[in-house]
Amino acid sequence: MLETGSPYYRNAYIFKADQDGNLEAEAIFGTVDDNAYIFDLVKVNGGLILTGSNHVEGSGIPGAVLAIKIDYDLDILWKKKYENIIYHQQGISTSQQDDGSLVIVGDATDLDKGKTVLIKVDSNGILFSSALTGSVHLDPQSDCLPDTSEAPLAKWLVQATGNLSFATLTDADGHFTLPVDTGTYEVTVTPPGPYWEVCNSPTTVNVAAFYDTTTLDFPVSTAVDCPYLEVDISAPFLRRCFDNTYTVHYCNYGTLPTEDASMEVTLDPYLSYQSSTIPFSTQNGNTLFFDLGDVAVNECGDFQITTYLDCDSTVLGQTHCTEAHIFPDSLCIPTNAAWDGSSIELNVDCAGDSVVFIITNTGTGDMAQPLDYIIIEDQIVLLQGTFDLEAGQSTTVAVAANGTTFHMEAQQSPEHPSGTFSVGTTIEGCGGWMSLGFFLQWANGNPNPFVDVDCQTNIGSFDPNDKTAFPEGFTEQHLIEPGTDIEYLLRFQNTGTDTAFKVVVVDVLPSELDLASVRPGASSHPYTYSVTPEGWPVFTFENIVLPDSNVNEPGSHGFVRFKASQKPGLAGGDEILNTALIYFDFNAPIRTNTTIHRIGQVFPWSVVGTSTVLQPKATFRIMPNPLSDSAILQVEGIEPGELRLTLTDVNGRTLRMEKTVGTSFEFFKNELPSGVYFFKIEKDGAWIGSGKLMVR
């Protein structure tokens, strides 16, 4: 067996000779488009197994484990590839077991980490010989009976969950096939919107033997006849003094088409409209109105708006928010009888020397009980209070404007249809000097599917292939509350030397996020959404024709955005780590940075059943403040107990963590340089307050 070919193309040459060395047969395995890098040849029942990879070291092309079975005349009996989209893999050796199965041993490289690969297949090289197949189709009779004449439902998510988990989307005919191992699985079908009812989901299936195919049918009926419009708006980045293009993406995931849909887009005050791919019907200041026409069931659409970000009135790192609102915006979701009918919305104004928060009950019912609000200045709790509003009433809360970032979080009434616990709003830079870097700690606070707000900081230089998460999370720990949705922005740029014709973005969705909740959103170019068998979202940009940055820098960029929800039951301290792989044509993947979130208590209230309890508020006295060498921090308004102090700088970096028992700390300057610091105090594990400390 010999290897031939160029550094980027390898094939295997095998010959068979008799005992006198006379050539009896020869064969070459591998082509330019399908390499064969062989490491091992072993005799098995009925022939020979060649083991290796279709990857050639140094080529930059990711590879899979390659196994080829040939007979003694060197003819191919079967050829299999076993791949994992994250790893470059190669088979090193193969052995046959007593039952005829084959065990392949190899290794894998995750860019910079080595792993061992162990694969067991049957005598025909089949990894999973059993399968779950079936269809998802409309059931207008609502009889939950299979009927192949009924309309198929494409792009619906099917998942089989057991010791191993598998996922796929239905094809254009509503069919699905999931190769599975033996075992017991719960099979679920996830509709794209809340107005559908799926028969037989979930279904428990026991795959007891190999080569077993189980057929499942999932008739789907309508629970509510109503459109369900969703919108997503995003830009890849915002550059000062340049044009910046937003993509508005919308879909109807309801059970009825909608007529005469329209879109309202409100640009950030520092953005000015330049052009759009569809004309606006009217304009009122920075608010644009677009007519969309009819939107059919499961139909999606996109359009772009090009804006200019002002130079003179902005600073680098400032946050800009643009909102999209699609109409009609009514929801047909049945409400819980325990909901009082109130609906809390927040707004904030910069009014000269004051930041004014407006809390409004926009619902049809009066609040059944007072609710709490919190105002956070940068990273410390400034103010806590309660409000009680009748339908249509508003109340205001004003704080002194000093340029810092203020965030208000206010509770919703229990059993609110949005399913959210609270809403929030943020303002930055009111009062002159601008405190930067805190705005994106918070979610934008609008849970409605028909409204989306894109908030981004303007940038200078940046990594062309990266991943950003919204919200970023509170402090350097990136804390988010349980149940907080995360929106991801994946950016890519062709920095090569030639046009890219295909880009594939694979998100390695962590187990803490629910695949069924993933909502593909806005993008720079059209894409096809799919999922890998492992349950990772895939965004494929076919025929993207992305120019290289040397030829057309503005045109070399692309992006895609999606949203995902946490799985229920995540505990405090659980981490959500997410990364993505970006493939340009046939090149090795580029791995993005890893975003991180930690589950924890962000706001000092806790959930008890369906009601909420605000933790007792403490007050603090620091003597002296500013301090030169040491100070006493006295905690008042609490019973003595175990206290923990966390000290951070203005960038949110944790500098110290100290514990004491009682109601006071003695704090020493030590190596701290002069400046402003923030502290947070916890008592028995609960956050009781925070404040500022100045060091001379």
592 is written with which tokens? 């993005």
The Cα–Cα gap between 85 and 514 comes to: 20
**pLDDT, tens only, 33-75:** 566 777 888 888 988 888 888 765 555 556 788 888 888 888 8
Mean pLDDT is lowest, of 351-365, 386-400, 587-601, for 587-601
91 is written with which tokens? 């088979």
287 is written with which tokens? 């608010």
Give pTM, 2 decimals: 0.79
Reference 647, options 631, 98, 580; nearest CA is 631
477 is written with which tokens? 């720990």
**pLDDT, tens only, 241-284:** 999 999 999 999 999 999 999 999 999 999 999 999 999 999 99
Whether residue 533 has a cis bond before it, omega within 30° of 0: no
The two most distant CA atoms of the chain are separated, in Å, by: 100
CB 434 within 8 A of CB 318: yes
Reference 567, options 506, 610, 519, 515; nearest CA is 515
690 is written with which tokens? 């925070």
Beta carbons within 8 Å of 428's beta carbon, 6+ residues apart: 318, 319, 405, 434, 435, 436, 438, 439
Helix (H, G, I), strand (E, B) or coil at 516: strand
**pLDDT, tens only, 519-544:** 999 999 999 999 999 899 999 999 99
The Cα–Cα gap between 50 and 28 comes to: 12
Mean pLDDT is lowest, of 425-429, 558-562, 651-655, for 651-655
**pLDDT, tens only, 310-319:** 988 899 999 9
Instruction: Place 436 in a pLDDT band, splitting at 50, 70 and 90.
Output: confident
Reference 429, options 403, 407, 406, 455; nearest CA is 403
Residue 605: CA count within 13 A, CB half-sphere: 21
**501: DSSP letter:** E
212 is written with which tokens? 């077993």
Beta carbons within 8 Å of 149's beta carbon, 6+ residues apart: none
List the strands of the sheet with 300-309, edge to edge.
Answer: 229-234, 243-252, 300-309, 271-276
Evaluate if residue 125 carries a pLDDT over 90. no
The residue written with tokens 């094939």 in the block is 11
- Domains of the chain are 2-121 (no CATH), 130-222 (2.60.40.1120), 229-327 (2.60.40.690), 344-599 (2.60.40.740), 616-695 (2.60.40.10)
Beta carbons within 8 Å of 626's beta carbon, 6+ residues apart: 694, 695, 696
Mean pLDDT is lowest, of 13-22, 230-239, 361-370, 504-513, for 13-22
DSSP 53-96: ES--TTS-----EEEEEE-TT--EEEEEEE--SS-EEEEEEEEE
Residue 612: the pLDDT is 37
Q: How far does the chain reach from its first CA to its final CA, in angstroms?
A: 76
Q: Could you tell me the CA-to-CA distances from 689 to 637, 644, 663 in Å, in that order?
A: 11, 11, 13
DSSP 278-339: S--SEEETTEEEEEEEEE-TT-EEEEEEEEEE-STT--TT-EEEEEEEEE-----PPPPTT-
Residue 225: the pLDDT is 94
Q: What is the mean pLDDT of the chain?
A: 87
Residue 128: the pLDDT is 86
Distance, CA of 149 to chain centre:
37
